[in-house]
Amino acid sequence: MSEDIYDLPHEECGLIGIWNQEDAAFDTYYGLHALQHRGQEGAGIACLLDSKINAHRDFGLVHEIFKDKESLIELKGSSSLGHVRYATSGTSDINNIQPLVFHFEDGDIAMAHNGNLVNAKSIKKELEQKGSIFQTTSDSEVIMHLVRRSEAGSFHDKLKEALCQVVGGYTYLFLTNNELIGACDPNGFRPLIVGQLPEKGYVMASESTALDQIGAQYLFDVEPGQIVYINNQGIEKEYYTEKRQQAICSMEFIYFARPDSNIHGVNVHTARKKSGRILAEEAPCPEADIVIGVPNSSLSAASGYAEAAGIPYEMGLIKNQYTARTFIQPTQELRERGVRMKLSAVRKVVEGKKIVMVDDSIVRGTTSKRIVRLLKEAGAAEVHVRIASPALKHPCFYGIDISNTQELIAANHTQEEITAIIGADSLAYLSEDGLISAINLSSSAPYQGLCMAYFNGDYPTALHDFEEKYKLELAKIVKN
Amino acid sequence: MSEDIYDLPHEECGLIGIWNQEDAAFDTYYGLHALQHRGQEGAGIACLLDSKINAHRDFGLVHEIFKDKESLIELKGSSSLGHVRYATSGTSDINNIQPLVFHFEDGDIAMAHNGNLVNAKSIKKELEQKGSIFQTTSDSEVIMHLVRRSEAGSFHDKLKEALCQVVGGYTYLFLTNNELIGACDPNGFRPLIVGQLPEKGYVMASESTALDQIGAQYLFDVEPGQIVYINNQGIEKEYYTEKRQQAICSMEFIYFARPDSNIHGVNVHTARKKSGRILAEEAPCPEADIVIGVPNSSLSAASGYAEAAGIPYEMGLIKNQYTARTFIQPTQELRERGVRMKLSAVRKVVEGKKIVMVDDSIVRGTTSKRIVRLLKEAGAAEVHVRIASPALKHPCFYGIDISNTQELIAANHTQEEITAIIGADSLAYLSEDGLISAINLSSSAPYQGLCMAYFNGDYPTALHDFEEKYKLELAKIVKN
Amino acid sequence: MSEDIYDLPHEECGLIGIWNQEDAAFDTYYGLHALQHRGQEGAGIACLLDSKINAHRDFGLVHEIFKDKESLIELKGSSSLGHVRYATSGTSDINNIQPLVFHFEDGDIAMAHNGNLVNAKSIKKELEQKGSIFQTTSDSEVIMHLVRRSEAGSFHDKLKEALCQVVGGYTYLFLTNNELIGACDPNGFRPLIVGQLPEKGYVMASESTALDQIGAQYLFDVEPGQIVYINNQGIEKEYYTEKRQQAICSMEFIYFARPDSNIHGVNVHTARKKSGRILAEEAPCPEADIVIGVPNSSLSAASGYAEAAGIPYEMGLIKNQYTARTFIQPTQELRERGVRMKLSAVRKVVEGKKIVMVDDSIVRGTTSKRIVRLLKEAGAAEVHVRIASPALKHPCFYGIDISNTQELIAANHTQEEITAIIGADSLAYLSEDGLISAINLSSSAPYQGLCMAYFNGDYPTALHDFEEKYKLELAKIVKN
Amino acid sequence: MSEDIYDLPHEECGLIGIWNQEDAAFDTYYGLHALQHRGQEGAGIACLLDSKINAHRDFGLVHEIFKDKESLIELKGSSSLGHVRYATSGTSDINNIQPLVFHFEDGDIAMAHNGNLVNAKSIKKELEQKGSIFQTTSDSEVIMHLVRRSEAGSFHDKLKEALCQVVGGYTYLFLTNNELIGACDPNGFRPLIVGQLPEKGYVMASESTALDQIGAQYLFDVEPGQIVYINNQGIEKEYYTEKRQQAICSMEFIYFARPDSNIHGVNVHTARKKSGRILAEEAPCPEADIVIGVPNSSLSAASGYAEAAGIPYEMGLIKNQYTARTFIQPTQELRERGVRMKLSAVRKVVEGKKIVMVDDSIVRGTTSKRIVRLLKEAGAAEVHVRIASPALKHPCFYGIDISNTQELIAANHTQEEITAIIGADSLAYLSEDGLISAINLSSSAPYQGLCMAYFNGDYPTALHDFEEKYKLELAKIVKN
């Protein structure tokens, strides 16, 4: 799955928070740029100045929203929050773009959220009946209502109480008058990294690449069920719940995160390359002439496959670097041009060749079908598709918008059927064990600390608001 | 040299012309998108409808200029010209954005130009003294004035007469009331490819990737000194001069053209990969742990180097796919962030490693210096720079804006000095013979049909307006 | 005071609501255009379709926000709310732009508000302590929190209960799943007019000009303390409080409303013209050669003055019709060019003349000073300023942002001082009785139903949150 | 005719040139703003700095094109040209937006043009046959080609030779390395005023209001056939032809120029008011209750009519000050809303009244028809239309785009027919003599120095390229 031509809306996001760094908006901007792959629908930066929080948020890419130095200089202050939000389908609402900023009589609070809650709907309903008014249609606002209605004494206690009420995948960043606070859900579905800035300040961000971008030094990954307070006294951390067990989203390793990021000590590129090596062992293709990857997210796995298989790694697909979300769409009869605008086959490389095409995943299958056709039209003799992850059969409820199993080709078709549908000469997936051992987290939790629910339906939490819906869909699929 | 972080302005361009295809503006748009790497300053499309040519041109990327279907639908007609123009430094003038359209009493003509003339200034001066008025500051307009002042009989004869008066590197496309005409200079410095559209029409474009984009079939490369007429009777071609000898710009292979393009039968990716293989033989680095390429243009050469050397090919540098021309620049003291915004080192990959870093060329050296530092800061033990082309010592006068030798680090410093300046542990270039044999054109012309002037000063034409300036610079360098 | 060069921020707004008219967004758009003079900071339209309310709101003028038919077509539905908001100084927040839309589990509600509450701050504080979260910094949101927390049975009862809790100047429009509701505060500070659309639907709007714009027929003015329900059964109205007494803002007549609007049966132009006539009697200037008005809002009064005085009415000041909010400001030393950009003196008309210059009001005096200077520089022999309203000495707390008496020149200076400051040869104001009798409302309430507080400090309501502040300022002024 | 709702495209323009004033771009900007009514399609400013001329030109209003101080600061230099261009129908080309800038080997020249040539087409054809290339589709470029091909000695002589070759209506401004030059055609169709800046520099502009705007003092009107040189030695002027006779466009007085402008010593407002007085005598309407004008251009004439007739002058029509060119058009069946968006009737003023509606002219009649209907729908008992100029029966070839007599209602219908078509109760025009005596120029030329061709077909020059077409149209009309 090429990361910008897959055909499903996602709800990933990227967060960054900075404490005690002159002109924090600048480093937030550069950091968000490094996290841009986690969300392209919109972005925002909030800055704390003299107990007031100002923010600028809009639709678009970070560099489109912040066009000149003035736009950052206006956001004065030495502490900040930044957020990038994924392009979702359907109605877009500027109110959903974060950081959310709350102006209370007793002080301003900004917050940013990555992930998805499974009981947000029920909580929201309950609070509305008590007179609360929600301004956004997103889950993210729920936590703040819980905090404000909490009868606990201190803000820390209110916050911990609220965190214990929400269920799902989340990392939160909060910026208050005197603190930057980060929190990770009890399963640690989403990554959050803490770093030390070159001078005296600190940074928390969704991926370590953002730390590299601004010259920060890695300190630690926030752990499941952990809350981190950064203030002028330094860093403090504590667990807000006893019920915690790591189950980080395996999709972060498979295609969300940047290859140069490290999550819980594991480099993403290295994990992908290793998944390719294992895939080569599990699903060899000795007759192939060359191995190619679908740029960019599958190149690591493809090179791993090639190395392990001893088959030449070639550049058979080129990604147009000027790809934009806003291209004029071709007419109906030329629909596959949508792929051509983004990917080109290198005819001289693929012509007459038996090819192993490595991709990171298959969602609906439409993109895979188009790429296979692209290669065949360029003269490929055979195209053997190898997927560097297990088949996607179950929806995600923790932050990836694959909430409908009917869209998942592997939930509805056998491997043979899929091979035929996408027009491949053969098709194979990485095994669950292969994926786990490629990533090789050092956790003693199930699946070595990975969430494998998309592959096997083993959800680390109760599904609450989604329980019913999921059972119904499962029933349909099982009947198939 | 990563193609969008090099530090010199360029004057490359991309052309496409379509004849006899319904709604030609659409295919022109898609074709220009495939040529976008050849020019990002501005673009335009001109269409012929009922003997009138309408055009839309502007600054920006193709998808920024043509934002919706309406913008293409307005450009009705079945024949068209398209042009993308490189970002040049200094004063930008919308008038310089092509295609240029001329509305004469006896009919409209559109033209598009890729390349640079060495005698444009003298011709322009002479024509101005006769009362001609030039509206653009570019070379491109000169040819049309010569055509209009020619006393030859037919338009074809006037055009051929004019082509014989200009000297330099050029491909031209002209769209008239009844023809699409392409012409290539007598040395064939710039590529121009002719293809057959799926239905009945034809296309001419700067690179074959544009043909692939719109589903056209390759017919032939326009040859040095050749002029091609496409009209409703079909294709005709003829030579307009006897003095012709192929000397295609070697930079097209080294980094201008897209890897999936073929030029005179040679695939660009394949030539680059082979240049890497030969470089591995000429300049081995047996102690290295890994080979990495500077994305994206050097990845082919790096993989060739790795294969030939038997050293693992790794992804040590990641290019941020959201790179934009318009980023807010960091302050002076953080200047190297300019590189970080575009490239990141994969710390876990490079840490503690002895690295061969393959790049396609070094111009001023500032970018190389920054990338080497990036790798060392990420923990690289040693960085051995290998350049997949010979050292750049001479300016280009045929369409690449390296007109000042003082900017060329290799024109002013020894290889040892450069090694020190960029902070590398060693540095080696591909030999001229290595480059020639990697590209391996089938021409009997000197250097197998390549222009090697940037490397050895052997210019295929007289330098005319630039003669004096070049001699002076040469003298300075030789003294050094 | 020329309405777009006065120097104080205002908080006026314009409302329109439509029920049961095909493509209601279109008529809302045209209606908002007619109300544009009531607010230029931002605007929005919300439409009800299949129990869902969609809205589009932004900064800018109505025609800048809704640029093409598509933008209106997207807002499908036959019932709608529209709002224009005045340019306020300081931090602008898109969240403050109305209509506000609330997506509750039990249905969507849109609301729009014109006016200002005097106890919003206390209510907000109290509700926050109970856990409510406010998303806007404006007063407008308060009413909805009160509604949602009300324990009354029906929505109507909740709403009436809430309306009885807020104090100040307001007209509200609410759009729910099955009704369009309008409400006016117990003093009727702001106008709200109900009309019948040509086909079958209804409209409510801040001014009757919006009804004319869309071809609607006037039905009635909403009365103080009244609430109006429009639904598919027709129109119903009731009073939600017994404590009501008309005190409509006299500024609506003096310069807010459009001359073609009628408020409670009184035409604005006619009232202004009459105020000019009375002013001519109260403050004659028999030696004057001509009478001129400050365009556009003072032209009616000026023509009335001229007629009554028997002095020729002349066009001595021309307003540039291309006036924009976004002009590049001249440098400090040329500050009066700010006036020249908007107004020009007609030299040939004013040269050597003794002039009566009629303006509708003086706020800070800076604009008057500049216009007098403009006339004198154009050769006026004498400039006698006549103001068609009494002197502004007290702040407004019901929707006009003159909240600081220190900015009011008449609160701090004697009439003689002001004459000198603005450089006039004489200065006179209309009397309070003159104003009352020019407007001549048919109410038995004090001042015939006008709010005269800006002139005499007689506020129709308790001042609540502003009580303390007002007393302090009053003390300062009295000391002067 | 309300100036922005008339229904014919125009080709008026406004010019300003500044010599020797620090940061000339700023005063040019303010001056263009004062001339904005002369052209709204596009605008531009060109500045001379160190022998180079830089320009910025674009579509839109002046304040839209120059959005911030930086945009003016970039145009450094103490001498400048500015231009505003009227919205013309059909294909718009950025190349046609002026000032045109020519970069010759021997120096830069900028030029700006107001007016229209009648022999441009023939000259252009002739020059193209000699090899000249025209880049614009406008007349304006022709003069520069003639200058450059002239064999005269000095630039002054070349220019004068060229001016003698073109025929039609024009004022030109030229900015060269060492001079600002203005020229007026031999009939003086278009106005051009020279003024002294407060410090040491000079200004030339199309209307005196631009001088007032920037604080300049009036020096003189450029006369027919005159050329004015402004340089560091001061001002020089000379006649470049003996065949000269004033025939200034009467439309400048009737509705083009601003009321505060003076042309050849006559104030525009005063002339209009007087035309209203004479109209009242020529075409009385004693039974009328009130006199109203169509805002804004007819208000002067209306007040003159009212005064002379002793009938009250009322504000019966209100112009919406937020009128924009870009409104979303209502659907076919609601087409008259186009008028309502711009004009509203003041119902309380017009209801039941017999009205004299004064307008400055009728072109196609469609607008008059809509305004009459607007008044009647608002309850007017009778509407008597009085036009403050004679009937428009002939096209203009000197700069107003009324080139087709078939569009002129008065060229095709009798006065009775027009009365019926527009739905008026009576209709009368000002006589030719009335107009002449209202303007009352002090020239001994025919019609006291006015061009009256639109009214009586008496063209002051030969029609050259338009001769044939005009005769044909005349024949058609005469037949009618």
Q: Is D133 in contact with B133 (Cβ distance < 8 A)? A: yes
Q: What are the boundaries of each domain within chain B?
A: 13-244, 267-319+337-479
Distance from CA of A259 to the nearest CA of C (A): 37
- C125–A148 C-beta distance less than 8 A: no
Please check whether residue C389 is in contact with residue C430, taking contact to mean a CB–CB distance below 8 angstroms: yes
Angstrom distance (rounded) from CA B447 to CA B460: 11
C73 membership: H or E segment, kind and range: helix C69-73
Give residue A189's pLDDT: 97
- Chain D residue numbers touching B161 (CB-CB < 8 A): none
> What are the two backbone dihedrals, phi and then psi, of residue B429, each rounded to the nearest 5 degrees?
-110, 160
Chain D residues whose CB is inside 8 A of the C380 CB are none
Residues in chain D: 480
Mutation pick from A133, A136, A141 vs chain C, by most beta carbons of C within 10 Å, is A133
Q: Which residues of D touch B103 (CB under 8 A)?
A: 134, 137
Q: What is the DSSP string of C18-32?
A: EES-TTHHHHHHHHH
Least Cα distance to B5 among B317, B304, B260, B303 occurs for B317
**Rounded-to-integer distance, Cα A387 and Cα A370, Å:** 16
Check CB contact under 8 Å for D124 and B102.
no
Rounded CA separation B460/B449 (Å): 10
Q: What backbone torsions phi and psi does residue B319 show, to the nearest 5 degrees?
A: -95, 130
What pLDDT sits at residue B1?
39
Nearest CB among C29, C345, C348 relative to D328 is that of C29
Angle formed at CA B81 by CA B79 and CA B87, multiple of 5 degrees: 165
pLDDT in tens, D205-243: 999 999 999 999 999 999 999 999 999 999 999 999 999
pLDDT of res. C439: 98
pLDDT at D136 (0 to 100): 81
pLDDT of residue D6: 34
Tell me what pLDDT residue D403 has. 60
Spatial distance between the Cα atoms of C424 and C356, rounded to a whole number of angstroms: 10
Rounded to the nearest angstrom, the minimum Cα separation between D247 and chain C is: 23
pTM here? 0.86
Is the CB of residue B64 less than 8 Å from the CB of residue B27? no
| Mean per-residue pLDDT of chain A | 91
Q: How confident is the model at residue B165 (pLDDT cuts 50, 70, 90)?
A: very high
- Name C438's Cβ contacts closer than 8 Å, sequence gap at least 6: C271, C272, C274, C275, C277, C278, C430
* pLDDT tens track for B87-103: 554 346 777 889 999 99
Q: 3-state class of A79 per DSSP?
A: strand
Provide φ and ψ at A286, rounded to 5°: -60, -25
By annotation, the residues of C acting in catalysis are: 13
pLDDT at A148 (0 to 100): 97
Cβ distance of A36 and B68 shorter than 8 Å = no
Adjacent-strand bridge partners of A345 = A317
Q: How far apart, in whole angstroms, are the C-alpha atoms of residue A8 and residue A363?
A: 8
Which has the higher per-residue pLDDT, A139 or C329? A139
**Partners of residue D131 in chain B, C-beta under 8 Å:** 130, 132, 145, 148-149
pLDDT of residue B82: 98
Report the pLDDT value the prediction gives residue C476, as an integer from 0 to 100. 77
- Residues C134-158: pLDDT tens digits? 988 778 899 999 999 999 999 999 9
Closest-CA residue to B255 (of B10, B433, B431, B59): B10
pLDDT of residue D223: 98
User: Does the pLDDT value for residue C8 go beyond 60?
Assistant: no
Residue B290 binned pLDDT confidence (cut-offs 50, 70, 90): very high
Q: How far apart are CA A3 and CA B353, in angstroms?
A: 29
In this structure, what are the phi and psi dihedrals at residue B162, rounded to the nearest 5 degrees? -65, -45
Q: What pLDDT does B472 receive?
A: 85
Using one digit for the tens of pLDDT, what is the confidence trace for B311-339? 999 999 999 888 765 667 665 555 556 66
Could you please state the CATH topology (level 3) that the domain comprising A267-319+338-479 is classified under: Rossmann fold (3.40.50)
Q: Which positions of D make up the binding site for Mg(2+)?
A: 297, 359-360
What is the number of other CB atoms lying within 10 angstroms of the CB of residue A478?
8
Nearest by Cα to B48 from B232, B227, B238: B232
- The answer, for D103 touching chain B at a CB cutoff of 8 Å, is yes
- Arithmetic mean of pLDDT, D394-400: 87
DSSP D379-426: T-SEEEEEESS----S---SS-----GGG-HHHHS-HHHHHHHHT-SE
What number is the average pLDDT over the span D352-380?
95
Place of tokens 């004469």: B104
> Can you list the positions of beta strands (E) in B20-75?
42-49, 52-59
Shortest CA gap C160–chain A (Å): 16
C91 versus B390: the higher-pLDDT residue is B390
Q: Give pLDDT, residue B403.
A: 60
Among B30-39, C469-478, D294-303, D354-363, name the one with the lowest average pLDDT: C469-478
- If one compares B12 and B142, the residue with the highest pLDDT of the two is B142
**Length, in residues, of chain A:** 480
Q: Is the peptide bond before A295 cis (omega within 30 degrees of 0)?
A: no
- The Cα–Cα gap between B209 and B206 comes to 9
Is A184 among the residues known to form the active site?
no
Q: Hey, are the CB atoms on D315 and C303 less than 8 Å from each other?
A: yes
- C12: exposed, middle or buried (C-beta count within 10 Å: 0-12, 13-18, 19+)? buried
C16-58 residue pLDDT tens: 999 999 999 999 999 999 999 999 889 999 999 999 999 999 9
B103 shares contact with chain D (CB less than 8 Å): yes
Query: Does the pLDDT at position C325 exceed 80?
Result: no
Residue C359: is its pLDDT beyond 90? yes
| pLDDT, tens digit, 9 for 90 and up, residues B19-28 | 999 999 999 9
Are D327 and C299 inside 8 Å of each other by CB?
no
Chains C and D touch (3+ CB pairs under 8 A): yes
d(CA C28, CA B65): 33
Q: What pLDDT shows up at residue D140?
A: 87
**Cβ atoms of residues D444 and D390 within 8 Å:** no
Confidence of residue B10 (pLDDT cuts 50, 70, 90): very low
CA nearest to C339 within chain D:
D213
Quick one: what percent of chain C has pLDDT higher than 70?
92
Furthest C-alpha separation in chain C: 72
For range C435-449, the mean pLDDT: 97
**pLDDT digit string, tens, across residues A277-314:** 999 999 999 999 999 999 988 999 999 999 999 999 99
pLDDT tens for each residue of B436-477: 999 999 999 999 999 999 999 999 999 999 898 888 888 877
Tokens of C97: 């732009």
Residue D298 has pLDDT above 90, yes or no: yes
Report the pLDDT averaged over residues C305-313.
95
Beta bridge partners of D340: none
Band (A429; pLDDT cuts 50, 70, 90): very high
Residue A480: the pLDDT is 57
Q: Average pLDDT for residues D30-37, to the nearest whole number? A: 94
Q: What is the CA D399 to chain-centroid distance, rounded?
A: 8
pLDDT number for residue D313: 92
Range from A380-389, A416-425, C55-64, D332-341 carrying the lowest mean pLDDT: D332-341
Does A137 contact C91 at a Cβ distance shorter than 8 Å?
no
Of the pLDDT bands very low, low, confident and very high (cuts 50, 70, 90), residue A339 is low
Nearest residue of C to residue A136, measured between CA atoms:
C103
Say what the pLDDT of residue C90 is. 38
Q: Sort out which chain C residues have CB atoms less than 8 A from D346's CB and list them.
A: 259-260, 267, 269
Phi-psi region of A115 (alpha: psi -120 to 50; beta: other; left: phi over 0): left
The alpha carbon of residue A130 is apart from the nearest alpha carbon of chain C, in Å, by 7
Given A103, A135, A148, which is nearest C131 (Cβ)? A148
Say what the pLDDT of residue A3 is.
36
Residues of A in contact with C145 (CB under 8 A): 131, 133
d(CA B21, CA B26): 10
| Å between C242 CA and nearest CA of chain A | 27
Q: Report helix, strand or coil for D276.
A: helix
Q: A320 or B171: which carries more pLDDT confidence?
A: B171
pLDDT exceeds cutoff 50 at A354: yes
Conformational region of residue C322, where left means phi above 0, alpha means psi within -120 to 50, and beta covers everything else = alpha
Q: Tell me the average pLDDT of chain C.
A: 91
Q: What is the pLDDT of residue A89?
A: 40
The CATH topology of domain B267-319+337-479 is Rossmann fold (3.40.50)
Task: State pLDDT tens for residues A394-414.
Answer: 988 898 766 667 788 999 999
d(CA D297, CA A290): 78
Domain covering D266-319+334-479 in this structure, CATH number: 3.40.50.2020
The arithmetic mean of pLDDT across residues D303-329, rounded, is 85
Q: What is the pLDDT of residues D244-297, one digit of tens each?
A: 999 999 999 998 999 999 999 999 999 999 999 999 999 999 999 999 999 988
pLDDT of A459 over the 80 cut: yes
CATH number for the C267-319+340-442+452-479 domain, one of 3.40.50.2020, 3.30.2130.10, 3.20.20.80, 1.10.3720.10? 3.40.50.2020
pLDDT tens digits for range C457-480: 999 999 999 898 888 888 877 665
Q: Is C297 annotated as a binding residue?
A: yes
Contact (CB, 8 A) for D434 and D282: yes
Residue C447 DSSP code = G
Q: Which residues of A touch B26 (CB under 8 A)?
A: 328, 330-331
- Numbered residues of the known binding site of B for Mg(2+): 297, 359-360
Among chain D residues, CA nearest to B125: D105
- Judging contacts by C-beta atoms under 8 Å, the chain B residues touching residue A267 are 346-349
Instruction: Dump the DSSP string for C28-45.
Output: HHHHHHHTGGG--SEEEE
Between chains, do C133 and A132 touch, taking CB under 8 Å as contact?
yes
CB proximity under 8 Å: D 238-257 to C? none
Nearest to C349 by CA among C303, C380, C311, C319: C380
Partner D contacted by B149 (CB < 8 A): yes
Class of A13-244 in CATH: alpha beta
Which residue carries 């379509």 as its tokens?
B18
In the annotated binding site of D, the residues are 297, 359-360
With beta carbons less than 8 A apart as the criterion, state whether D294 and D3 touch. no
pLDDT score of C406 more than 80: no
Beta strands in C222-328 (DSSP E): 226-231, 234-239, 248-249, 262-263, 266-267, 290-293, 317-319
pLDDT at position D89 is 40
D38 touches chain C (CB under 8 A): no
- pLDDT for res A331: 59
Task: Count the Cβ atoms, other than its own, within 10 Å of residue C217.
Answer: 11
Phi, psi of C65, deg, nearest 5: -80, -40
Q: What is the pLDDT of residue B457?
A: 94
The answer to whether D72 and D66 are in contact (CB under 8 A) is yes
A37, A315, A330 ranked by CB distance to B321: nearest? A37
B104 — contact with chain A (CB < 8 Å)?
no
Q: What is the average pLDDT across B5-22?
A: 73
Can you tell me the mean pLDDT for B378-401?
Answer: 93
* Candidates A29, A260, A348; nearest CB to B318: A260
Q: Are B189 and B169 in contact (CB under 8 A)?
A: yes
Rama region for C142: left / alpha / beta (φ>0; ψ in -120 to 50; rest)? alpha
For chain B, give the mean pLDDT: 91
Q: What is the pLDDT, as a whole number, of residue A95?
A: 77
Distance, in angstroms, between B106 CA and closest chain D CA?
Answer: 9
Task: Strand A234-239: give its sheet, edge to edge.
Answer: A100-104, A107-117, A168-175, A180-184, A226-231, A234-239
Q: Is there a shared CATH topology between the C13-244 domain and the C267-319+340-442+452-479 domain?
A: no
Neighbours of chain D (3+ CB pairs under 8 A): B, C
* Interface touch A105/C128, C-beta < 8 Å: yes
Digit-coded pLDDT (tens) for B171-186: 999 999 999 999 999 9
Residue B131 has its nearest CB partner, among D95, D106, D149, at D149
pLDDT at D396 over 70: yes
Q: In whole angstroms, what is the distance from residue B238 CA to residue B228 CA?
A: 7
* Sequence-distant (≥ 6) Cβ neighbours of residue C273 within 8 angstroms: C300, C301, C303, C304, C307, D315
